[in-house]
Chains A and B, each alone.
Chain A
Amino acid sequence: MPGPRALLGLGLLVAAAAARAGGRCPSLGRGRGWGWGWGWGRGRACCRPRRAMHGPSAGPQGLRFLGQEEAQAIDQELFTEYKFSVDQLMELAGLSCATAIAKAYPPGSFTTSRPTVLVVCGPGNNGGDGLVCARHLKMFGYEPTVYYPKRPSKPLFEGLTTQCQKMDIPFLPEFPAEAALIDELYGLVVDAIFGFSFTGAVREPFGSILSTLERITVPIASIDIPSGWDVEKGKADGLQPDMLISLTAPKKAAMHFAGRYHFLGGRFVPPALQKKYALNLPPYPETDCVLQLSKA
Chain B
Amino acid sequence: MLPRGGVRGGAGAAGAASPGRHRRAPGVRAAAAAPEGSAARPAARDELRAPPRPGAPPLPQPREPPAPCPQASPAPHPGDGLRSPGVGSRGGGDVLIPAAVCSPRSKAEAAAIEKELLEDYRFGRQQLIEIWGHACAMAVTKAFPLPSLPRKQPTVLVVCGPAQNGAIGLVCARHLRIFDYEPTIFYPKRSPDPLYRDFTTQCEKMDIPFLSYLPTEVQLINDAYNAVVDAVLGAEAEAGEGREPCAAILATLKLLRIPIVSLDVPSGWDAEAGGSGGISPDVLVSLAAPKECARRFLGRQHFVAGRFLPYDVQKKFELNPPEYPGTECVVAL
Residues of A bordering B, CB below 8 Å: 22, 24-26, 28-31, 40-41, 43, 81-85, 87-88, 91-92, 98-99, 102-116, 136, 139-143, 145, 155-156, 158-160, 162-163, 166-168, 170, 183-188, 217-219, 240, 242, 260-261, 267-268, 270-272, 286-287, 292, 296
Contacts and interface: CB of A to CB of B under 8 A. Distances in A.
Contact of A88 (B8, B126, B179, B201): B126
Chain B contact surface mostly: loop
Contacts of A240: 1
A32 to B, nearest CB: 8
Given A87-B124, A92-B130, A166-B312, A103 B11 contact: yes
A29 B55 contact: no
Contacts of B202: 82-84, 270
Contacts of A106: 10, 12-13, 25, 27-28
Contact of B34 (A113, A167, A218, A287): A113
Interface in B50-98: 50, 53, 55-57
Interface stretch (B100-108, B149-157, B236-244, B295-303): B149-157
Contact of A102 (B197, B201, B327): B327
A142 B31 contact: yes
B291 interface: no
Top 10 nearest A-B pairs (CB, nearest first) are A108-B27, A218-B6, A217-B4, A159-B122, A113-B38, A162-B122, A103-B13, A83-B201, A83-B198, A106-B27
Contacts of B4: 183, 217-218
B307 interface: yes
A99 B327 contact: yes
Contacts of B197: 83
Interface string B199-217: 0011001110000000000
Interface stretch (B139-147, B249-257, B274-282): B139-147
B27 A286 contact: no
Nearest to A240: B1
A116 B41 CA distance: 15
A116 B10 contact: no
Contacts of B246: none
Nearest to B200: A83
A88 B127 contact: yes
B30 A141 contact: yes
Given A110-B35, A139-B308, A166-B312, A272 B205 contact: yes
A34 to B, nearest CB: 12
Interface residues of B, number: 74
A166 to B, nearest CB: 5
B11, B14, B138, B201 — which one has the most chain A CB atoms within 10 A of its CB?
Answer: B11
A272 to B, nearest CB: 7
Contacts of B36: 108
Contacts of B37: 111
Given A31-B146, A145-B50, A188 B7 contact: yes
Contacts of A41: 145, 147
B127 A87 contact: yes
Given A28-B180, A88-B127, A113 B122 contact: no
Interface in B297-332: 307-308, 310-312, 326-327
A29 B154 contact: yes
28 contacts: A22-B207, A28-B180, A29-B153, A40-B145, A84-B198, A84-B202, A88-B127, A103-B13, A104-B11, A107-B28, A108-B36, A109-B35, A110-B35, A111-B38, A136-B327, A140-B327, A162-B121, A163-B310, A166-B310, A170-B53, A183-B6, A185-B49, A187-B7, A188-B6, A217-B6, A240-B1, A271-B206, A286-B141
Given A105-B9, A108-B27, 7 more contacts: A83-B201, A87-B124, A107-B29, A112-B6, A159-B122, A287-B138, A292-B11
B15 interface: yes
B31 A102 contact: no
B120 interface: yes
Contacts of B56: 143, 168
Nearest to A89: B130
Given A85-B198, A107-B28, A108-B28, A296 B122 contact: no
Given A82-B202, A111-B38, A271-B207, A140 B28 contact: yes
B192 interface: no
A71 B7 CA distance: 32
B3 A218 contact: yes
A143 B32 CA distance: 11
